Amino acid sequence: MKNPLYVDYHDKEWGRPVHDDYLHFEMITLEGAQAGLSWETILNKRENYRKVFSGFDPKKVARFSQAKIEKLLQDPGIVRNRLKVESTVSNAKAFLEIQREFGSFDKYIWQFVGGQPIISDFKNLSDYPSKTEVSDTISKDLKKKGFRFVGSTIVYAYMQAAGLTQDHAKGCMHYQKRFRTRKR
């Protein structure tokens, strides 16, 4: 890892438990945008994503018009994939419904892991799964609630990013650290 954004992300964000709904929306959106691309590509565009998606405020994103979506599709600072951009808007609406039903997206998502991160014990990169039974369950439930671009592999990457699972490898300096909650 030579990209300073990537190193900083790994050392200060990845795997730290998220309990902030704006961060949850940001992470699930960015993981969906990353599908088929490298995470480094998304990190390099992250600040522009924050800007054009109103700081990942789901209330604002849910109100994006078709004209706003068309404008976003011209912005080289994001992944200009129509399905991914449109899903961000529809996912914002589904996100708000989950907040209404559960009080917060945080309460909803953490219930799938019993309120505590799953602690993994991986030694090698080849040991990591691309999805798990838990990510399968979350993916199915999110889809049932209206989300798109939340297949099990995307959900597992989101779980890793948002600290729902602690997947730093045994050789990593962050292996089995007890992280504080990450906030915006």
Instruction: Give the pLDDT confidence score for residue 182 in this predicted structure.
Output: 47
The pLDDT of residue 170 is: 57
Rg (alpha carbons) of the chain, rounded to whole number: 16
Question: How many C-beta neighbours within 10 Å does residue 122 have?
Answer: 17
H or E stretch covering 166:
strand 165-166
CA angle (142, 83, 41) in 5-degree steps = 95
pLDDT by residue for the chain (184 residues), tens digit each?
588 887 777 677 778 899 999 999 999 999 999 999 999 999 999 999 999 999 999 999 999 999 999 999 999 999 999 999 999 999 999 999 999 999 999 999 999 999 998 877 777 777 888 899 999 999 999 999 999 999 999 999 999 999 998 866 556 655 555 554 444 4
The confidence score (pLDDT) of residue 140 equals 98
Supply the pLDDT for residue 6: 73
pLDDT score for 174: 58
Active site (catalytic) residues? 9, 31, 39
Rounded to 5 degrees, what angle do the CA atoms 155, 156, 159 make? Answer: 85
pLDDT in tens, 6-30: 777 767 777 889 999 999 999 999 9
Q: What is the pLDDT of residue 8?
A: 78
> DSSP assignment, residue 20?
-
The token duo for 148 is 């798109």
pLDDT of residue 166: 81
Residue 103 pLDDT: 98
- Does an H or E element contain 32, and which? helix 21-34
Instruction: Report how far residue 151's alpha carbon sits from residue 42's, in angstroms, rounded to the nearest whole number.
Output: 18
> What's residue 177's pLDDT?
59
How far apart CA 164 and CA 182 sit, in angstroms, is 12
12, burial (CB in 10 Å: exposed 0-12, middle 13-18, buried 19+): exposed
Note the pLDDT of residue 151. Answer: 97
CA distance 23 to 21: 5
CA 158/CA 29 separation, integer angstroms: 9
Residues 179 and 1: their CA atoms lie apart, in Å, by 22
